[in-house]
Each structure stands twice: as structure tokens, then as C-alpha cells.
Structure 1
């Protein structure tokens, strides 16, 4: 959206809404149209923030071409780009001290598994963790991930530089760009637990996992005490 674009007020756009559903009351329709105006404003705010992100000046040049262990052996961060100029690199919580991978990271990456094929049309995507590569590949097979590429930050140099200086087992998302052969850090999520609002689970914005976006559409919304699990009781299939 261009900076000089003149937008129609959200309330006016919402007034053009022709949607109606069976048995809805006038009170419901009035409240729904008021909510629609707020949803339009939210859409615009998301676009404004994305536009601001794109105007960031170049970040720092990576201090070194970090080494990871992949399915086929050692690989450098520069090689993770493939033929793309942008690399999306997610560090999941699955350090060697963990008995199992983080359920939250696993839930999100399971969603990413489906969209990875589309993402790779425009950007490179890689997942890293501190556990040995054999452990990561076993977990990948267990979860049925075919489109996600996992790499072990065996030495931990990348993790200590861009995830946690203390080498803590925490999640992180970093975006890197490559320009004329030089790799720059572009953006990383920086919202921490200290920035959480009252009554809310710490999270960034927008959410990277559609799980939470869908919950936001439901009457109960998010449950601040509910978290994904690696396994659930078997569900009866509706026939």
C-alpha cells in the first residue's frame, strides 16, 4: 500500500457489507458490522507494520558463516539460502537436555510443514535445534515432516549469536538477506515474556501459528492455560 493512498474510513466500508445469516437479530448484525470495521482496521494495521518492517535499514553482517549438520553432512548458513536471497531460519526448542521436543514448536512447525512448499517459491526455509542431527531426523520422521529441512547447530555458535547468548533452549525466528554475496541479519522476533500484556501468554505479533488465529475466531478464544501436546487421545472419526 503506497504511503499516499487515501483510504475509505473503515466504518464506511463496513456499511457496504451485504452479509446476513439465518435468524440473526438486528442487534447481532449491528454488533457484527461494528466488529467488521475493527477487523478492517486490524488488516490495515498489519499492513502498516509489515511495510515498516520492509523499510528497516540493513542489519548487521553475520560475524561468520555458521556451520550446521544436516541430513547429508556439514552445511554453511550461506548454503541454506539455495538460490534465494532471503532465508527464514527458525530455532526450535529441542536441545539435548530435553527428553522430547517442545509441543508448541512442534505444533507450529506441523502447520509450516504444509505451507513450506509454497514458501520455498520465494524464500529459503530451514529449521535448526541444538540436539544432534540424528535425533532431529528421528523426530522429523516421527512427525511425518517431508517439506521441512532440519539442521543441528551442533557447536551452538549460531544459537549463542542469534538466539540466546546463554545457549538457553528457547525458540527464535530470524530472517537473513543476501546482497551481492554478503549476508545481513534483517529481522528477528524480539517480543519477550517481559513484554506480555496482563492475562496473556507471551507471544509475538502476528502469530506464526495459525492454530491461535483460528482460536481467536471462536467464542471461547484462547485459553491462557492450554498448550498443545505432542500426542492426544485418539479421536473418533465422524462418518
Structure 2
């Protein structure tokens, strides 16, 4: 923000009607309240007490140049002290991943260089590694690390899987603690009251649609509308 934006210059053009100005000023106040509430929630999230220690799961990483290779959960951190995990809904017997999950990951991929300044990032799914690699290729997730949890209890242990094996859309933040891994935070797309939008703040698509006069409408992401998908 530059100095001219800090001197009270309004966010509406010259010529706005008095009716518009009244409504927009009321909205501006609500937007400030929302900003403050978001920061209060973020602070509470940052200050959570230590979560449980996790097993050092042996996962499987696809290799486009050869057979898939084993990788330990702790090794996914690299030089970072934290690991951001998107639990992609992609069941072992599914031919495609969840389109809504894939939409979220599209957004992560777009800002990956910025995220990696602060944290390691990985997409973990229950699908076999070869199928996961093929899906990442179709979506254009170049450079985004994808790892299969096939054959492990990782998804179930982190509540990214229902008891019947159905996958759940979840984002987790893990912390490195020596050679161990500790859970810090997880959030699912569904909120405790059963409603959705639990992960909406992590998607640029929904936040931008909320700026438009028609809002989100009844649109739902699909796998057939991805440009260049083969």
C-alpha cells in the first residue's frame, strides 16, 4: 500500500450517488470488521498448543523417469520446519481426482514459488503413485510435489478419510521436531455445523467470484473444463 492509500482516499470513483456512497461506506466498515476477525482467527490458529506426534509414514513418490520410490514423511520437509499438505480426494480405485480439490491445488500451484519461501508443500493422495503422477501431469502441476499414501493409514490417521474409506478434502500443517513430525493444524472443506466453505479462504477462485455482482451462482468445478487436458 502506498502513502496515498493511507490518507483516506475512498475506494469508489468520482460521481457515485449518495445511495451508493451510503451502502459502500457500510460495506467498508463490514470489510474492516471481517479483516480484524480473520486476523483474530489466524492468531488463535498460530497459537494452538502442540498437536500429537505422527508416525514417520513411508509414502511413495512418483518418478517420471523410473519406478516410484519410497519417501518418509519427515523427508518431505526438506530445509523447512513446516509442511503444508493438501489431502487430495483421489481414492485408490478412482480414475479421476476430485475436481474441487484439484481447483484448490491449481491455486496453490500458481503461487508455489512464494509458498516455498516459507514452507514445504506437498499433495498427498490415496491413489497409486502412477495414477497420481498422471493426474498431476494432466492438470499442469509442474514442480508441485505429489506423493501417494496408498497402502498406509496416513489418510485415516489425519481424518482425511472416513471409516468407510471415502476420502475427505483436508488441508494440514505439520511441524518438524527433530527427526519427528508433529501435527499443528488441519481443516476440512466442511465446517463443524455441516456447512461447506471451510477452505474457501485458500482459493483465489471463490474469493474473486465473491467480488462479482452475480457471485458464485450455482457453478461447481469440473474436470472437463481444464484447458489443455488430454
Please state which band the TM-score falls in when normalised by the shorter chain: 0.7 to 0.9
DSSP 3-state at the match of 2:35? helix
- 8 Å CA contact 1:127–1:151 kept in 2: the answer is yes
Deviation string, structure 1 residues 77-119 (Cα, Å, up to 9, x no partner):
0000001100111111111232321110111111111111111
Poorly superposed stretches of 4+, deviation over 6 Å: none
Give me the whole-angstrom Cα distance separating, in 2, the residues matched to 1:233 and 1:170: 22
Question: What TM-score comes out, normalization by structure 1 length?
Answer: 0.83
Q: 1:108 aligns with which of 78, 89, 104?
A: 104
SS in 2 for 1:189: strand
TM-score scaled to structure 2, two decimals? 0.86
Asked whether 1:91 is paired with 2:79, we answer no
Q: Tell me what 1:71 maps to.
A: 62
Distance 1:192 1:144 in 2: 27
Are the counterparts in 2 of residues 17 and 33 from structure 1 also a CA contact under 8 Å?
A: no
Paired residues for 1:143-222 under 5 Å:
143-162=139-158, 163-164=160-161, 166=163, 167-190=165-188, 192=190, 195-197=193-195, 202-204=196-198, 207-222=201-216
Identify which of 34, 38, 45 aligns with 2:30: 38
| TM-aligned CA deviation for residue 231 of structure 1 | 2.1
What runs of 5+ residues in structure 2 fail to find an aligned partner? Answer: 1-5, 64-68
Mark the runs of 5 or more structure 1 residues left unpaired by the alignment: 1-13, 235-239
Deviation of 1:186 after TM superposition, in Å, equals 0.3
Structure 1 pair 15–133 and aligned structure 2 pair: CA distance change class (3 A):
same
